[in-house]
Amino acid sequence: MIRLAVIDDHKVVLDGLVNLLNSELEFSVVYSNSNPLTIDFSQLPKIDVWLIDIQMEGIDGIELSKKLLNLTPDYKIIFLTMHRDFGIARMAKDLGAKAYLIKNIDKIELIQSIKSVDEGASLFNLSDLNKSSQIGDLNAKFIINDLTNRELEILQHIVGGLSNQEIGDRLHISPRTVDTHRTNIMRKLQVSNVASLVRVAISNGIKGNI
């Protein structure tokens, strides 16, 4: 029996996935949540595979996955998303996720993908994503050139996966100052969450500074 957790902030989608997966004899959805901010990490049951949406209210799937993998590195994470996005997919792979699936996947392929990931497979078709995602961030190319040296430095650390506290320690500034810079960067690049920020940065050649 493969024990699954499903996280999606669209309740209808979440309920549909839970019902679909529980209808399979090999699966048991032991945890589901439509509000990832309410997850009690100390009370989670034993879970083999996580299915996580990427763009969610409050905390995106990338940030949530970092928390989960810091808690239990053996977790196998599948991102299930509407976005064919090479930058986010590559970031997810580097993070340690096992698969990046598009939500229009059919039932048979989803079931087989979960089984494959549980058995140790990694499912990332980055070449196809790169072709379909020659991301139209042309405006962002020019905006990135307008970032200050400090903003660019902080953006590189964000792409590298560091928290505000970690960035502040590296640059000898307060986490609040880092957060102010992050807010300004996101405003300039016209993005609303960290996943989109990192996607734009990666698609424009910004490499993580770890």
The model's pLDDT over 109-148, given as tens digits with 9 standing for 90+, comes to 899 999 999 999 888 765 555 554 444 444 455 567 778 8
Query: 4: which 2 tokens?
Result: 């699954």
Sign of CA pseudo-dihedral 86, 89, 94, 99 = negative
> Would you say 126 and 89 are in contact if contact means Cβ atoms under 8 Å apart?
yes
C-alpha to C-alpha distance for 155 and 6, rounded to whole angstroms: 30
What confidence score (pLDDT) does residue 10 get?
92
Residue 24 has pLDDT above 90, yes or no: yes
pLDDT at residue 177, as a whole number: 94
Domains present along the chain, CATH in parentheses = 2-132 (3.40.50.2300), 138-203 (1.10.10.10)
- How many CB atoms neighbour CB 43 within 10 A? 7
pLDDT at 138: 44
> If you average pLDDT over residues 11-38, what whole number do you get?
95
> What's the average model confidence in pLDDT over 172-197?
86
Give me the phi and psi of 81, to 5 degrees please.
Answer: -140, 165
CB-based burial label for 139 (10 Å; 0-12, 13-18, 19+): exposed
Give the pair of three-digit tokens for residue 69: 């993998």
Question: What percent of the chain clears pLDDT 90, i.e. is strictly above it?
Answer: 49
pLDDT at 135: 43
Listed in order, strand segments (DSSP E) in 92-207 are 99-102
pLDDT digits (tens, 9 = 90+) for 80-111: 988 777 677 778 888 889 998 988 888 888 99
Averaged over 162-188, what is the pLDDT?
A: 91
pLDDT at 64 over 90: yes
For residues 36 and 127, the model is more confident at: 36
Tell me, what's the pLDDT at 174?
Answer: 94
Distance CA 3, CA 12 (A): 21
Mean residue pLDDT of the chain comes to: 85
- Name which of 57, 55, 64, 89 is nearest 199 in CA terms: 89
